[in-house]
């Protein structure tokens, strides 16, 4: 027993140095830990102050917040000349009294608006992200799938395949009229006001002859899908809104060989439009509207919404005409009396009421001006 105790005493005596060394290592660890915690605290404090502009602290900003906020200050397009970020939130992005791109006016708008996504499908963004591709392909499933890359390469041999829209210019005021087809245009007398814009965007059939006083006579952009397409004057941009790969095959054919006459309905075999002005609506932009703005209400956004957001990404000032029901609640077109005028709201394809709320909210945020019509 005593031997064990003596042995134990020996180990305790030898452990004096080890114990001392242990205390030194322990205190080192404590200092390292304290140093690390101080560094973390100072770093988070610095980021918090820089993120909040030095006012108050908030550790709950989502990841990437600072990055996305910086990107959103000055809208631009991928591949375009990027302006240097403004010194203050109040710097203007255009020469109009109110500019779509001005930051700090509406948090809701700034959070959802992505200035770097191109509304036009071009050679530069020919490759769709896989989630976009699968979502878009399922809008109108096809019996005969086509290789999208080959189809687009053929199409871009016929049309330019470039975006004509540059970066935002603080010295420019590009005013755009988005003209819907609502019956509320009839008798509104907006013709001259509409014609006074730089860009005048129309949708599908949208006749102007005979309706000049209310709907205007000029057009710069006409948005159509194959089943609604018509010939256009040479100074008008035909903007194809594609819902399926076959639509891209059709536009290539309609501007060249005339092979395609039918999609799910008869379509024009040949199309008389200015080939150099043909643009294709980008499915990635389509899905961005569905995700960020209409928030998956309805199967996909209406063509009216697609055109409205197209304008919000290429124009400095956006004025909206001919959207919504007329004063009696009818959804018919300004050129016809449609006894089935309410069907648009019942199909479930588009959520007309939710889209109307978005338009109201955009107007309230000062990003668009809505002309209510009659």
- Which residues are designated catalytic? 300, 350
Judge whether 319 is annotated as a binding position.
no
DSSP structural state of residue 280: E
Q: According to the annotation, is 181 in a ligand binding site?
A: yes
d(CA 104, CA 101): 10
Backbone dihedral angles phi then psi of residue 358, each to the nearest 5 degrees: -65, -45
| 197 annotated as a binding-site residue | no
Q: Measured between alpha carbons, how far is 98 from 318 in angstroms, rounded to an integer?
A: 10
Identify whether the C-beta of residue 126 lies closer than 8 Å to the C-beta of residue 149: yes
User: What is d(CA 222, CA 200) in angstroms, rounded to the nearest whole number?
Assistant: 8
Q: What is the DSSP letter of 321?
A: E
Q: How far is it, in rounded angstroms, from Cα 317 to Cα 307?
A: 14
Residue recorded with tokens 């005028």:
341
The answer to the question of whether 313 is labelled as a binding residue is no
**Which two tokens mark 96?**
């109009």
Largest Cα–Cα distance in the chain? Answer: 119
Decide the pairing of beta strands 221-224 and 237-240.
Answer: parallel
Burial of 12 (0-12, 13-18, 19+ CB in 10 A): exposed
Q: Is 225 annotated as a binding residue?
A: no
300 is annotated as contributing to ligand binding? yes
Q: Confirm whether residue 204 is marked as ligand binding.
A: yes
Binding residues: 140, 181, 204, 264, 300, 304, 324, 333, 350
Binding residues for substrate: 140, 181, 204, 264, 300, 304, 324, 333, 350
């Amino acid at each position: 027993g005593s031997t064990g105790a003596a042995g134990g005493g020996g180990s305790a005596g030898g452990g004096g140095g080890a114990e001392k060394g242990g205390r030194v290592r322990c205190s080192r660890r404590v200092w390292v830990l304290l140093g690390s915690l101080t560094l973390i605290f100072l770093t988070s404090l610095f980021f918090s102050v820089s993120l909040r502009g030095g006012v108050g602290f908030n550790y709950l900003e989502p990841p990437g917040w600072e990055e996305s906020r910086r990107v959103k200050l000055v809208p631009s397009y991928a591949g375009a000349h990027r302006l240097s970020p403004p010194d203050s939130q109040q710097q203007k992005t255009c020469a109009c009294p109110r500019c779509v791109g001005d930051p700090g006016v509406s948090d809701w708008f700034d959070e959802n608006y992505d200035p770097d996504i191109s509304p036009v499908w071009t050679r530069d963004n020919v490759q769709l992200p896989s989630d976009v591709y699968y979502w878009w392909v399922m809008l109108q499933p096809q019996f005969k799938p086509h290789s999208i890359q080959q189809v687009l390469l053929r199409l871009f041999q016929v049309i330019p395949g470039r975006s004509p829209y540059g970066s935002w210019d603080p010295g420019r005021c590009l005013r755009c009229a988005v003209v819907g087809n609502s019956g509320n245009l009839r008798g509104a007398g907006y013709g001259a006001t509409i014609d006074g814009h730089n860009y005048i965007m129309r949708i599908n059939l949208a006749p102007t002859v005979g309706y000049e006083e209310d709907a205007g006579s000029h057009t710069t952009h006409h948005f159509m899908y194959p089943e609604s397409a018509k010939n256009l004057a040479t100074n008008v941009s035909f903007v194809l809104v594609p819902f399926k790969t076959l639509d891209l095959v059709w536009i290539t054919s309609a501007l060249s060989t005339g092979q395609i006459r039918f999609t799910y309905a008869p379509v024009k075999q040949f199309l008389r439009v200015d080939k150099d002005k043909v643009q294709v609506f980008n499915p990635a932009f389509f899905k961005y509207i569905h995700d960020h703005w209409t928030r998956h209400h309805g199967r996909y956004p209406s063509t009216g919404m697609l055109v409205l957001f197209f304008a919000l990404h290429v124009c400095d000032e956006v004025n909206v005409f001919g959207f919504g029901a007329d004063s009696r609640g009818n959804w018919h077109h300004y050129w016809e009396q449609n006894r089935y005028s309410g069907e648009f709201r019942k199909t479930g394809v588009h959520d007309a009421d939710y889209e109307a709320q978005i338009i109201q909210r955009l107007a309230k945020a000062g990003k668009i001006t809505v002309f209510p019509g009659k």
